[in-house]
Amino acid sequence: MKALVFHGPGQKAWEERPKPRVEDASDAVVRITTTTICGTDLHILKGDVPSVKPGRILGHEGVGVVDEVGPGVRAFRVGDRVLVSCITADAVCPACRRGMFSHCAHGGWILGNTIDGTQAEYVRIPLADTSLHHAPPGVEDEALVMLSDILPTAFECGVLNGQVGPGDTIAIVGAGPIGLAALLTARFYSPSVIIVIDLDDNRLETAKYLGATRTVDSGREDAGRRVMELTGGRGVDVAVEAVGVPATFDICQSVVAAGGHIASIGVFGMSVELHLERLWSQNITLTTRLVDTVTTPMLLKMLAAGALDPTPLVTHRFRLDDIMRAYDTFANAAKEKALKVILAGA
């Protein structure tokens, strides 16, 4: 089969690889019909993720059809249309029993990281019963593949951890795919004010279209100050960090109201300065989280009911064997006005 293989920093190829087979009783092999590229894949290509070794097939998002199942798989059969979760879970270990699949003793984020991933014609999924989901009938691949990673990530790490509630004033810092997915899913809880902050006007336009009540261009004005003005000096109930650098974390610190939440979604490559000399008395809650995908069943229900539409996040479409070009587009997201790029398999 063909697959997108990482060959060390800056190097990748769409090349022939052996088709994966069931290796363990709990495995399934899935033929990929749709996959996509994540910002994390770009980090890997830069060499920022040392756990990913040369020779690894990338990708942790995908929709497909079950091609083979191990004897221990109970919930899926050959031919089933499935969503691949970016998180693999055994459901048995202490972490999983607490719903913290991200720290599963035998799983977690391993796809396209420590085992081969989904940017390929086929992928082997360990612990299939607890790492795949049945695709609801009538839902398009394009919408569905957004539930592999970005929707549960934004919802769990941003919205649930931020405890967004009816009437809240929230700020989302970063309007990339994750920030916009946080916007989409924050609306499940009816905040009354949603301020989205980014440098890219195109993304801010999308944010408005998706329901932001205000947008702030942090390239043109001091975002922290502007948010304080917009909130009458009170600050926000929830600040969602969806970038992962000290500057955006600082905006969150400067706008969170007393009693508020900072929900960090971003993947940080360095430490940040936390202003406890001011925040110690402000009754704030700061959370971090690697997505657990425990809310994927609920998100699937919302998708099937038509109550969630992530397709506005899809900006570009390619054939799977055109993935090298898709990476170029995604890597130049601002210029290409790209959010999520869809790769359609055969």
Cβ partners under 8 Å of residue 319, min gap 6? 343, 344
When asked if residue 79 is in the footprint of a second copy (CB under 8 A), the reply is no
- Figure out which of the listed residues 13, 276, 324, 346 binds a second copy, where binding follows CB under 8 A: 276
Q: How far is the CB of 187 from a second copy (least distance, A)?
A: 8
Cβ partners under 8 Å of residue 22, min gap 6? 28, 29, 68, 69, 70, 124
Q: How far is the CB of 137 from a second copy (least distance, A)?
A: 13
Select from 12-20, 58-66, 199-207, 258-266 the region that touches a second copy (CB under 8 A): 258-266
When asked if residue 139 is in the footprint of a second copy (CB under 8 A), the reply is no
- Tell me the CA distances in angstroms from 45 to 112, 113, 273, one per residue in order: 12, 12, 28
Decide: 316 and 343 in contact? Cβ < 8 Å.
no
Q: Which amino acid is at 57?
A: I
- Figure out which of the listed residues 20, 62, 244, 345 binds a second copy, where binding follows CB under 8 A: 244
Number of C-beta neighbours around residue 254 at 10 A: 17
Nearer to a second copy, 44 or 95 (CB): 95
Cβ partners under 8 Å of residue 102, min gap 6? 87, 95, 108, 109, 289, 290, 291, 292, 293
**What x-and-dash track marks residues 287-306 binding a second copy by CB under 8 A?**
xxxx-x-x--xxx-xx--x-
The DSSP element (H or E) to which 337 belongs, if any, is none
Q: Count the residues in the chain.
A: 346
When asked if residue 194 is in the footprint of a second copy (CB under 8 A), the reply is no
When asked if residue 9 is in the footprint of a second copy (CB under 8 A), the reply is no
When asked if residue 247 is in the footprint of a second copy (CB under 8 A), the reply is no
Q: Report the C-alpha gap between 132 and 129 in whole angstroms.
A: 6
Q: Which of 240, 232, 91, 260 is nearest to 178 (CA)?
A: 240
Cβ partners under 8 Å of residue 61, min gap 6? 35, 36, 38, 84, 86, 118, 145, 148, 149, 150
The tokens of 97 are what?
């029993």
Nearer to a second copy, 142 or 292 (CB): 292
Number of C-beta neighbours around residue 196 at 10 A: 28
- Figure out which of the listed residues 43, 189, 211, 317 binds a second copy, where binding follows CB under 8 A: 189
- Figure out which of the listed residues 11, 51, 283, 332 binds a second copy, where binding follows CB under 8 A: 283
Q: How far is the CB of 69 from a second copy (least distance, A)?
A: 12
When asked if residue 40 is in the footprint of a second copy (CB under 8 A), the reply is no
Nearer to a second copy, 193 or 331 (CB): 193
Select from 31-39, 72-80, 321-329, 332-340 the region that touches a second copy (CB under 8 A): 72-80
- Figure out which of the listed residues 8, 9, 54, 94 binds a second copy, where binding follows CB under 8 A: 94
The tokens of 214 are what?
């205000």
Interface with a second copy in residues 17-36 (CB under 8 A) = 25-26
Number of C-beta neighbours around residue 51 at 10 A: 10
Nearer to a second copy, 3 or 308 (CB): 308
When asked if residue 71 is in the footprint of a second copy (CB under 8 A), the reply is yes
When asked if residue 346 is in the footprint of a second copy (CB under 8 A), the reply is no
Look at the block and give the residue holding tokens 């992962």: 244
Nearer to a second copy, 288 or 311 (CB): 288
Which parts of this chain interact with a second copy (CB under 8 A)? 25-26, 71-72, 74-75, 90-92, 94-100, 102-103, 106, 129-130, 161, 165-167, 187-190, 192-193, 244, 249, 258-259, 264, 266-277, 279-290, 292, 294, 297-299, 301-302, 305, 307
